[in-house]
Amino acid sequence: MTKDAEVDMKDVELNEVDPEKQPMTGGDTGNGDASSPLTEKNGSVKVKIPEENESKFTGLSKEELLKVAGTPGWIRARWALLILFWLGWIGMLAGAVVIIVQAPRCKPLPEMNWWNDGPLYQIGDVSAFTENSDLKGLEKKIEDVVKLKVKGLIIGPIHVSNADKHEDLNLKEISSDIGNLDDFKNVISAVHKKGVSVVLDLTPNYKGTDLWFQNRSDIFPLVLEQVESASDFWLQNDVDGILLHGVEQIATADSFWTKISDTVKNHTKEEKKKILIGVTNAQSAEDVSKQMNRTGVDLLLSDVLKLNSGTMTSQVIESLYSDHNTTQLAWNIGDRVRGHLASIVGSGCVKLSQLLLLTLPGTPVFNYGDEIGLGDNEYKYPKMIWLNAINESDKEEKEQKSSLKSFFTTLSEYRGKERSLMHGEYFPLNSSDSTMAYLRKWDQSERYIVALNWHTSLSFTLQLTQKELPETATIVVSTDAKELPVDTSVNLAELKLGPQQAVLLKFPYTP
């Protein structure tokens, strides 16, 4: 059968399709013209059968492509595209170099130690601090202390000692009243798991009047040797540092400080340094500098902030800041011997003092209970008050202490994360008998202004108009959220502080 015959047979089969199944538009249009090139009269459809000799386009063969690629036109096109690619790449590289060169360079971070990252927290009397009155009770309270965003605990003294009795002194043995060596190791382990360090107070005769038995020429050298040996012992048992009160009483034994410093350094590991802290009664910047240089301690706590004048406070801070690296500066108001913050400055200035300590360049140190305004009354080691233990009937007291604790935690968190507050430069802005203001800034980080008014009854307007300051700044932390609400903008040239008010303000870095 021929191909023409096959086509005719297909037409016949289509014509015989049931009329109901034929397309409605497949018939005559009425004027004798087909409505579609694929239709015929009476609904017949033509189906085109491809010829056997028809072939599909499969592209150029390899030989044909090589032949075309070698033509002058394609060669010129390829060179043009290649040149455009390299010109674009070189342009992007040059642009990146320009951006890097013009961008402000970041200032290298100073060398920091763990005690520079946040506040230290003193627990001078373990039995007064815990509900169980022992080291096991202290271990249960570690979580509560860590929530304050502190970086280190100063514990003790906890060694065996009786007032002014050298024969009873044993710096390597823990007083049985609060526990034993295993209990203390458990405390150290629990604290370390939270990323916090432990410093042990090894002041020898801490219960007596002569801390170092200095008036006993036959005993004094032996005490120094005991402290050296005990320091080595406790550092071997994972303590992160040693604290000693009454450093001025060891004025005739300068070799002691060399030995004790070497002992601490010998236990220092690359990833974490050990610390030696001294405590002195010195109140002037000059005396503090002398003791710091003579002893070589890493931090020296003193009485320099126990002042009633904003001008004097500003001067002593500026003097110490100018003479020493910020990593050596330590600030406290009260301690195990002097008493608690609230008893020294008064309840109305607790928040103000917390703000001052946590924003100065250096390491702030607090006594246990300072975060809730705990007072001494007639005893330097008052029982710690835990908020969950306050009766519901004392709702006002609970709210007050909760507010102080929240204020402390907020400030402590800022202190531990903002570079300007951690290691930023210090610039005094204003000082008078009752007021003080200063700026903290670091490289391209946000700037912070601290403003304080110590006066109990008078308000003051601080005209902060220095050229490095903007017109306005935003309140970050306020001791009086009603009159100076957080997140509000204030005019620095008209910054008004009421009695015992203080604020922490911030403004952005501008190139």
Give yes or no for a contact between 148 and 192, defined as CB atoms under 8 angstroms apart: no
Given this model, what pLDDT does residue 46 score?
57
Q: Is the pLDDT of residue 500 over 60?
A: yes
End of a domain among 391, 423, 455?
A: 423
Domain assignment of residue 109, yes or no = no
Residue 341 neighbours by CB distance under 10 Å: 27
Domain assignment of residue 111, yes or no = no
Shared domain check, 13 and 73: no
Domain assignment of residue 50, yes or no = no
Shared domain check, 382 and 454: no
End of a domain among 403, 423, 443?
A: 423
Cα(140)–Cα(316) distance, integer angstroms: 40
**476-506 exposure pattern, b = at least 16 Cβ within 10 A, e = fewer:** bbbbeeeebeeeeebebeebebebbbbbbbb
Shared domain check, 84 and 127: no
Shared domain check, 207 and 138: yes
Total domains present in the chain: 4
Q: Which of 30-39, 49-58, 118-127 has the lowest mean pLDDT?
A: 30-39
Q: Assign 19 a pLDDT band (cuts: 50, 70, 90).
A: very low
Given this model, what pLDDT does residue 439 score?
97
Shared domain check, 68 and 33: no
Q: Is the pLDDT of residue 194 over 60?
A: yes
Domain assignment of residue 54, yes or no = no
Nearest CA-CA partner of 379 in 332, 340, 333 = 340
CATH assignment of the domain containing 496: 2.60.40.1180
Q: What is the mean pLDDT of the chain?
A: 87
CA-to-CA separations, 75 to 16, 28, 60, 78, 85, in angstroms, rounded = 62, 58, 18, 5, 16
Give Cα 466 distance to the centre of its chain: 29
Q: What is the pLDDT of residues 458-491, one digit of tens each?
A: 999 999 999 999 999 999 999 999 999 999 999 9
Q: What is the pLDDT of residues 383-402, one digit of tens each?
A: 999 998 888 788 899 999 99
Q: What is the pLDDT of residues 40-89, one digit of tens each?
A: 445 555 555 555 555 566 666 777 777 777 788 778 888 888 899 999 99
3-class DSSP state of 90 = helix
Q: What is the pLDDT of residues 197-245, one digit of tens each?
A: 999 999 999 999 999 999 998 999 999 999 999 999 999 999 999 999 9
Q: Assign 27 a pLDDT band (cuts: 50, 70, 90).
A: very low
Shared domain check, 252 and 205: yes
CATH assignment of the domain containing 202: 3.20.20.80
Task: Name the percent of the chain lying above pLDDT 70.
Answer: 87
Mean pLDDT of the region 84-108: 84
Domain assignment of residue 51, yes or no = no
- Write out the residue range of the structural domain in which residue 23 sits: 3-43
Helices of type H across 272-418: 285-295, 310-323, 341-345, 350-359, 395-417
Given this model, what pLDDT does residue 485 score?
96
Given this model, what pLDDT does residue 167 score?
95
Shared domain check, 241 and 352: yes
Domain assignment of residue 248, yes or no = yes
Residue 141 neighbours by CB distance under 10 Å: 20
Mean pLDDT of the region 104-129: 89
Q: Quick check: pTM over 0.85? A: no
The alpha carbon dihedral of 118, 440, 294, 249 has a sign of: negative
Shared domain check, 209 and 271: yes
Report which DSSP code applies to 505: E
3-class DSSP state of 317 = helix
Shared domain check, 274 and 141: yes
Shared domain check, 231 and 125: yes
Q: Write out the H or E segment, with its range, that includes residue 127.
A: helix 126-129
Vertex 194: Cα angle to 189 and 195 (nearest 5): 95
Domain assignment of residue 364, yes or no = yes
Nearest CA-CA partner of 21 in 13, 32, 31 = 13
End of a domain among 423, 442, 473?
A: 423
Shared domain check, 332 and 317: yes
Given this model, what pLDDT does residue 108 score?
82
Shared domain check, 131 and 262: yes
Domain assignment of residue 112, yes or no = no
Given this model, what pLDDT does residue 76 score?
84
